[in-house]
Amino acid sequence: MRLVIPGQAVRETMGLPNRWDFLVMPLVLAALFGLAWGTHQMAAPYSLGQPLPVSLDPSNLPQYALRTTLRMAAAMGLSLLFTFSYASLAAKSERAAVVLIPLLDVLQSVPILGFLSITVTGFILLFPGSLMGPEAAAIFAIFTSQAWNMAFSYYYSLRMIPAELYQVSHLFQLSAWQRFWKLEVPFAMPNLVWNTMMSVSGGWFFVVASEAISVSGHNIMLPGIGSYIALAIQAKDLAAIGYAILTMFVVIVLYDQLIFRPVIAWSDKFKFELSQAEEVPSSLVLTLMQRTRLLRMLLTLPRLLWEISLKLFRHVPAKPLPRLGIRMSRRDQRLLDKVWVFGLVAAATLGGLTLARFVLSEVSYGEIGRVFLLGLATAARVFVLILLATLFWVPIGVWIGLRPKWAQRAQPIVLFLSAFPANLLFPLAVLCISTYRLNVNIWVSPLMILGTQWYILFNVIAGAAAIPNDLREAAANLGLNRWLAWRRLLLPAIFPSYVTGGLTASGGAWNASVVSEVVNWGTTTLTATGIGAYIAQQTTRGDYPRIALGIAVMSLYVIILNRSIWKTLYRYAQERLRLD
């Protein structure tokens, strides 16, 4: 993932290994070995219906954890590729952006987990007789949970690049390849890295959910932590669940320490600011890596590759940017725009009609109405939960955020909690509900927000911590009482970041509804009334028209709610409450 390495250019890189090397070398070797083994296993032969050997023996857990992690890594690689190509295209062609950006918006709102059963059959056909099929489906599911917001972030970064920097790269005749690595990627880096890391954190939830898939009656269980826990649920093995949670805990700690923090700390130098920040993110592991001679030597490799690439791609000067380039005559332009829009409308209509025919071939209008009502039930659940989480976390977040020492300690913990896949905890909740005979419709609901509430807390802390000291002093100086200080200073100041957190949390809750409205424990199945449960049930049954209907209706709800509520709040926050 290291891209351009503008490291210490002149410092010598040769020499004997130092003591750090002895520490890091075995780790690197082990990682390489693990990678080779894991990818080999992925390509093992497989045919649908053949049970995959997943056992509850805890000694298998390290191996399962590795395979789960590899799936995650593969998905992230794909997401990055997607991001660079898709977002670049959108940023450089206005005509493409007309389609690509709304498309991303919609894709972001589609419940990923509902798709899984559809994509898995396709992938099995694509890789007949190989485990690659189901693996690819799982990886694709994780990909869909990560790619969209990464692409968005990269797209917005590209559009924010100052015109003068583009002029410099144009003036010195950088090739498109050079411009990409020396200007565009570095500029986007802090945001992209942050979004990638957040995506990976969110991805653990989906990787767990997508390993155990049922396709038209067959249960596919890919070796991994998700399957392990699914098996434990079937076997009602509480100890195994404990082991799985413990393993996941270790995995997340390793991920947090070895990847998340070093990468965030590293990306800090790409921040486009010309003043030195007082506090920069730091990571012990990054410091270790920067001081290890062996790893520093490894870093010469990308530099070498860069020089080679310069030779290969030399020298195709980049085309002038659209905003600088010569435009077509206005009439041609307008005509082409019209054709383009017409084509889009036609394609959209055709797509809509096809989908409608597909759904209506099986489903009555009455049922469609019922599905909309189910959607309403889930919407109500999401709304109430977000409200409760807000009432609970906003005061706590503000309290923490106003105390820098606390905020510094709390933020990594909250990030860690948000990465922990909440679905591992579902069985425990089911156990409670069935033991105490609680109302399923009410008590299943908190599961939806278990994993996503942290986004609210995290953003509120960040917002409160960013309140300028001047304002707080002015408020104290004016003698604002507690209520007035909240109303006039604290709430408006945290509102923009709260909206960001709330939007993420609500999107996550919708997605989680597919796995949290139907929960199992052995033979006990708890089903709540909602559209998530509907999609889950139809998926198990393999009823594609109804899955399509469920997904379409849920997407519609999410889009409408995002547009009407969250985007409005967001705009309000951006226009009026920004602190600059």
Partner 1 sequence: MNANQNEPLLRVEGVSKSFAAAEKGHVNVLEGISLELKAGEIVAILGKSGCGKSTLLRLMCGLIPPSSGEVRYRGKRVTGPMPGISMVFQTFALFPWLTVLQNVELGLEAQGIEPAERRRRASEAIDMIGLGGFESAYPKELSGGMRQRVGFARALVVNPDILLMDEAFSALDVPTSETLRNDLLDLWIERQIPTQAILMVSHSIEETLLMADRIIVLDSSPGRVKADIGVTLKHPRDRESLAFRQMVERIYSVMTTAIVPSEAEQAKAARVGIGHRLPGVTVAQMTGVLEEINQPAAIGSAELPELAEAMQMEIDDLFPILDALELLGFAKVSGRQITLTRHGRGFVEADIQRRKLIFGERLLEHLPLAGHIRRVLAERPSQTAPEQRFLRELEDYLSEEEAERVLAVMIDWGRYAELFAYDYNSGILSTGQPEEESGP
Q: What is the dihedral of CA 80, 82, 87, 89, to 10 degrees?
A: 140
Q: Give the shortest CB-483-to-partner 1 separation in angstroms.
A: 12
Q: Of 488, 540, 545, 569, which lies in the binding site for partner 1, with binding defined by CB under 8 A?
A: 488
**For partner 1, which is the closer residue by CB, 6 or 62?**
6
Is residue 278 part of the contact set for partner 1 (CB under 8 A)?
A: no
**For partner 1, which is the closer residue by CB, 238 or 316?**
316
Is residue 355 part of the contact set for partner 1 (CB under 8 A)?
A: no
Q: Of 44, 324, 336, 413, which lies in the binding site for partner 1, with binding defined by CB under 8 A?
A: 324
Packing angle of the helix pair 491-516, 544-561 (nearest 10 deg): 170
Q: Give the shortest CB-278-to-partner 1 separation in angstroms.
A: 13
Q: Do residues 4 and 185 make contact, with C-beta atoms less than 8 angstroms apart?
A: yes
Cα dihedral sign for 418, 423, 426, 428? negative
The window from 128-136, 310-318, 385-393, 535-543 that contacts partner 1 (CB under 8 A) reads 310-318
Q: Give the shortest CB-564-to-partner 1 separation in angstroms.
A: 20
Rounded to a whole number, what is the largest CA-CA distance in the chain? 76
Q: Of 275, 469, 477, 523, which lies in the binding site for partner 1, with binding defined by CB under 8 A?
A: 275
Q: Of 274, 437, 469, 483, which lies in the binding site for partner 1, with binding defined by CB under 8 A?
A: 274
The phi and psi torsions of 57 (rounded to 5 degrees) equal -65, 120
Alpha helices in 420-543 (DSSP H): 426-436, 440-443, 445-450, 453-465, 469-477, 482-485, 491-516, 531-541
Is residue 326 part of the contact set for partner 1 (CB under 8 A)?
A: yes
x-marked contacts with partner 1 along 432-461 as a string, rule CB under 8 A: ------------------------------
Residues whose CB is less than 8 angstroms from the CB of residue 348 and which lie 6 or more positions away in sequence, other chains included: none
Is residue 218 part of the contact set for partner 1 (CB under 8 A)?
A: no
The window from 100-108, 239-247, 266-274, 409-417 that contacts partner 1 (CB under 8 A) reads 266-274
Q: Give the shortest CB-197-to-partner 1 separation in angstroms.
A: 18
Q: Give the shortest CB-79-to-partner 1 separation in angstroms.
A: 22
Query: What is the C-alpha to C-alpha distance for residues 536 and 543, in angstroms, rounded to an integer?
Result: 11
Q: Give the shortest CB-183-to-partner 1 separation in angstroms.
A: 7
Q: Do residues 397 and 521 make contact, with C-beta atoms less than 8 angstroms apart?
A: no
Closest to 186 (Cα-Cα) out of 198, 178, 197 = 178
Q: Give the shortest CB-263-to-partner 1 separation in angstroms.
A: 15
Q: Give the shortest CB-280-to-partner 1 separation in angstroms.
A: 11
Subset of residues 101 to 120 that bind partner 1, contact rule: CB under 8 A: none
End-to-end CA distance of the chain: 34
Q: Of 81, 160, 239, 307, which lies in the binding site for partner 1, with binding defined by CB under 8 A?
A: 307
Is residue 271 part of the contact set for partner 1 (CB under 8 A)?
A: yes
Is residue 174 part of the contact set for partner 1 (CB under 8 A)?
A: yes
Burial of 50 by CB count in 10 Å (0-12 exposed, 13-18 middle, 19+ buried)? Answer: exposed
Q: Do residues 446 and 453 make contact, with C-beta atoms less than 8 angstroms apart?
A: no
**For partner 1, which is the closer residue by CB, 170 or 567?**
170
Q: Do residues 579 and 467 make contact, with C-beta atoms less than 8 angstroms apart?
A: yes
The phi and psi torsions of 49 (rounded to 5 degrees) equal 100, -30
**For partner 1, which is the closer residue by CB, 470 or 575?**
575
Is residue 314 part of the contact set for partner 1 (CB under 8 A)?
A: yes
Is residue 186 part of the contact set for partner 1 (CB under 8 A)?
A: yes
Other Cβ atoms less than 10 A from the Cβ of 315: the count is 11
Query: What is the C-alpha to C-alpha distance for residues 156 and 90, in angstroms, rounded to an integer?
Result: 10
Q: Of 17, 242, 320, 369, which lies in the binding site for partner 1, with binding defined by CB under 8 A?
A: 320
x-marked contacts with partner 1 along 127-166 as a string, rule CB under 8 A: -----------------------------------x-xx-
Q: Of 487, 563, 571, 578, which lies in the binding site for partner 1, with binding defined by CB under 8 A?
A: 487
Q: How many residues bind partner 1 (CB under 8 A)?
A: 48
Query: What is the C-alpha to C-alpha distance for residues 51 and 493, in angstroms, rounded to an integer?
Result: 55
The window from 183-191, 369-377, 429-437, 545-553 that contacts partner 1 (CB under 8 A) reads 183-191
**In DSSP terms, which residues pair with 221 in a beta bridge?**
212
Q: Give the shortest CB-340-to-partner 1 separation in angstroms.
A: 20
Closest to 509 (Cα-Cα) out of 415, 387, 395, 416 = 387
Closest to 443 (Cα-Cα) out of 454, 460, 431, 456 = 431
Is residue 502 part of the contact set for partner 1 (CB under 8 A)?
A: no
Query: What is the C-alpha to C-alpha distance for residues 34 and 220, in angstroms, rounded to an integer?
Result: 24
Is residue 194 part of the contact set for partner 1 (CB under 8 A)?
A: no
B/e letters for 134-149, b = 16+ CB within 10 Å, e = fewer, are: bbbbbbbbbbbbbbbb
At position 511, the amino acid (one-letter code) is N
Q: Is 173 helix (H, G, I), strand (E, B) or coil?
A: coil
Q: Of 14, 26, 45, 273, which lies in the binding site for partner 1, with binding defined by CB under 8 A?
A: 273
Is residue 172 part of the contact set for partner 1 (CB under 8 A)?
A: yes
x-marked contacts with partner 1 along 558-577 as a string, rule CB under 8 A: -----------------xxx
Q: Do residues 458 and 411 make contact, with C-beta atoms less than 8 angstroms apart?
A: yes
Q: Give the shortest CB-269-to-partner 1 separation in angstroms.
A: 6
Per CB under 8 A, residues contacting partner 1 are 4, 6, 8-11, 162, 164-165, 167-168, 170-175, 178, 182-183, 186-187, 189, 269-276, 307, 310-311, 314-315, 317, 320, 324, 326, 487-488, 491-492, 495, 575-577
